[in-house]
Structure 1
Amino acid sequence: MKIKKVDVFAARLPLKEPFIISYLRLDDMPTILTRVETESGLVGWGEAVPDPIVTGETWESTYQIIRNELAPLLIDESPFSIDRIHKKFNETVSEVPSAKAALDIALYDLMGKITGQPVYQLIGGKAHEELQVPKVISIKEPEVMAEDASNYVAAGCRNIKIKVGTNAADDIKRIQAVREAIGKDVQLRVDANQGWSRIEALKVIHETADCNVDWYEQPVKAHDLKSMKEIRSVSHASIMIDEGVHNIHDLVDVIEMRAADMLNIKLMKSGGIYPALALANLAEAADMPCQIGSMVESAIGTMAGAHLAIAKSIIKTNEMVGPQMFLKDVASVTFDGDILQFSNQPGLGIEVDEDFVKEITCFSCEIQ
């Protein structure tokens, strides 16, 4: 069964409220959606959510790379030729991981639909019984973040992640306020998104030692593995690396330097499910627990990450939060409290609303 057509949609998803992290504010979410169709009429959907700071791609550049370079490589290929296709991608253009992820995810969706299986069955079956999803709170004043966290916990959420990375003094107040608001039993995770210097990171970690933080994520710049190692050596809690690892070569360096305790894998950083599996396998060999993170993706990217998360035992946590942050999504994702539900339908297990996709699309193209 061969691929005959690829549609690419540059769209913007409406957020419930602005999403603010250390280096960026978003009032809506720019995304690139891909629709890959076989000669028999089966359709697979994929997504790219690029980030100029993290993936080195913009919304516009990702659209052009998929349209002009990557999508044409799929025509007349089998969706199952995933290794060869990624080799063609990498020989055609270096890096651009979210662009590659947009097509990789669509291929897995197609493989599942062709075989009549959910994607997780194609990559190992269920390693976990369920996926518990945290609530992510973007940067606000400490008292506002504390109120948000308290409301989430009252609604049944058992895991809170907060975005920080502005300055040490304010971030200490944010962490302390949220911990006080949620009580001692709710899990708390802290993500600086590269926002601190080494000295600031050490100060924040020391001053919040009594806040029982599960882990501090990417405290310093992505390239600064030496500081990561120094911070890890004195931290009372685990240190997670995120932006510092895109591929297996990065992860080898982290493992050799002992620069982190945990790894945050994102499909948009790694290039899709296929290369993300390689990261998870290497992390498992190093006994490094993993998380599947999110760039605040629609139902498409979210469910791709969810299938990977539930299929690998080394992946202990996830951040499949995107669908909860949009006013309206391109497909329905169901949560039972803080547990993400799988439909067990083939592929990603979602039904994409193509009319809504067209409604939020700013520009599009067709490759065949």
Structure 2
Amino acid sequence: MNNVAASSKPRITTLKVYQIPLKCRGEKTRLSGGRTYPQVLSTIVEMTTESGLVGFGESVPWGSNYLPAYGQGVATGIAELGPVLIGKNPFLIGAINELMDRHLMGHPYVKTAIDMACWDLLGKQLNMPLHDLLGACNAQPPLLSDGIGNEIDAELDANIAHQRADGCRQFAAKASGDPDRDIAFLQGVATRLQPGETFKIDANGGWRLDEAIRVSRGTQNIDIVFEQPCRTYEECRDFSRSSCRPMILDECVDSLDILIRAKGDGILNGLNLKIGRHGGLTRARTIRDVCLALNVPMHIQDTGGSNIANAAIGHMAYSTPERVLLQVWNTMNLIETVTATGGAFVEKSRMYLTPGPGLAVEPDMKVLGAPISVFG
């Protein structure tokens, strides 16, 4: 692939950066510990080559208290990288990532949109959809992971019925962070599950270790998967060992080192793979491929985003073999602001992709507005 790309010797001539507040959808944006988000900030990169080819990427940290990242920091970091990217070959994506790492240590969320735009350009150059470039392993539209609500009420019952009718066999919700309330909620959900159905409770690291153990012991009668019960890797490890319950790791797996450590510790039951947490599709693909080799099941997600990031999720999911793909997250379940057409779309709780090269998205430039910075 690199030989094909290198033969044309393309160069990045312009890098434009846009920032757009994304309006969130009500209570669906609530995390444990009372964290709520009326809006999050999207940074979208438009990368142009000397031939006029244009690629797009998006990075959206979910507020400033979910991960060590924040929306305004994306554009600030890109200001460090923009000047050194001009004139470089965007199709040599490994070299682009090495260049970014040399000029900005860490801060993977800053690099996500740039890496994504390079992949979009490569797909357009080769006239191939991104999922073909990433592996093209999944012929079936992946099933969505969507919350059923956080209260035992008529809305929760309606959400379960709707998702069940669409073929969902595992339902999900966010923990409140209050162990007593969470135990009562989970017991209420248990009475609504049918044989063969399971439930995933996502604490977003909101329980202390002792609280997570209490919730586990208070729900022994329910087939539950726990997602990121505690904040740190060590707490999650100790929870897994003491509870013997299935656990999906999420926020604490911020590197390949932690992933390998979890495998060695015997607690890598599953992973939430978030593209933006690892700096884009390139590094996320590495994590994905290691999980594939280790037979570790995955949810494919991102830290946040609108239509552009959602398209990247879809393409990554379609390139992941079904045997390890659990579910995907549709970012637009939480976001009202539409930034592009095309990309990924949903029918009956499954994600489909718009045909076309690269991400196959068409940004709405009226929504993006004027760029906040231009390089080149």
Q: Give the whole-Å Cα distance in 1 for the aligned partners of 2:337 and 2:65.
A: 26
Contact map agreement 2:295 2:324 (CA 8 A) in 1: no
RMSD: 2.3
Closer/same/farther in 2, CA of residues 63 and 152 from structure 1, 3 Å limit: farther
SS at match of 1:301: helix
Is 1:50 equivalent to 2:61 in the alignment? yes
What is the aligned counterpart of 1:150 among 135, 160, 168?
160
Structure 1 spans left out of the alignment, 5+ residues: none
Deviations along 1:129-182, one digit per CA (max 9) or x if unpaired, are: 2211121256x4444773463364376362432111411111112222334345
Percent identity, aligned pairs only, is 23
Q: What TM-score results when the alignment is normalised by the length of structure 2?
A: 0.88
Bigger Cα displacement from structure 2, 157-166 vs 101-110 = 157-166
Aligned to 2:11: 2
Aligned to 1:319: 328
Aligned to 1:26: 37
**Length, aligned pairs only:** 360
Deviations along 1:198-248, one digit per CA (max 9) or x if unpaired, are: 1211121222233322x21110113x42x3233223445411111111111
Aligned to 1:229: 237
Contact map agreement 1:296 1:321 (CA 8 A) in 2: no
Q: Give the whole-Å Cα distance in 1 for the aligned partners of 2:375 and 2:160.
A: 48
How far the C-alpha of 1:305 sits from its partner, in A, is 1.7
Deviations along 1:75-101, one digit per CA (max 9) or x if unpaired, are: 111221111111111111122111111
SS at match of 2:171: strand
AA in 2 matched with 1:20: R
SS at match of 2:30: strand
Contact map agreement 1:69 1:92 (CA 8 A) in 2: yes
Aligned to 1:294: 302
How is 1:1-368 mapped onto 2 (pairs within 5 angstroms)? Answer: 1-18=10-27, 19-23=29-33, 24-51=35-62, 52-66=64-78, 68-137=79-148, 140-143=150-153, 146-147=156-157, 149-150=159-160, 152-153=162-163, 156=166, 158=168, 159-181=170-192, 183-213=194-224, 215-222=225-232, 224-225=233-234, 227-235=235-243, 237-313=245-321, 315-332=324-341, 333-358=344-369, 364-368=372-376
Q: What TM-score results when the alignment is normalised by the length of structure 1?
A: 0.90
How far the C-alpha of 1:70 sits from its partner, in A, is 1.9
Q: Give the whole-Å Cα distance in 2 for the aligned partners of 1:307 and 1:255.
A: 26
How far the C-alpha of 1:331 sits from its partner, in A, is 2.2
Bigger Cα displacement from structure 2, 337-346 vs 127-136 = 127-136
AA in 1 matched with 2:262: V
Closer/same/farther in 2, CA of residues 150 and 290 from structure 1, 3 Å limit: closer
Bigger Cα displacement from structure 2, 326-335 vs 189-198 = 326-335
SS at match of 1:13: strand
Closer/same/farther in 2, CA of residues 196 and 330 from structure 1, 3 Å limit: same
Q: Give the whole-Å Cα distance in 2 for the aligned partners of 1:315 and 1:112.
A: 25
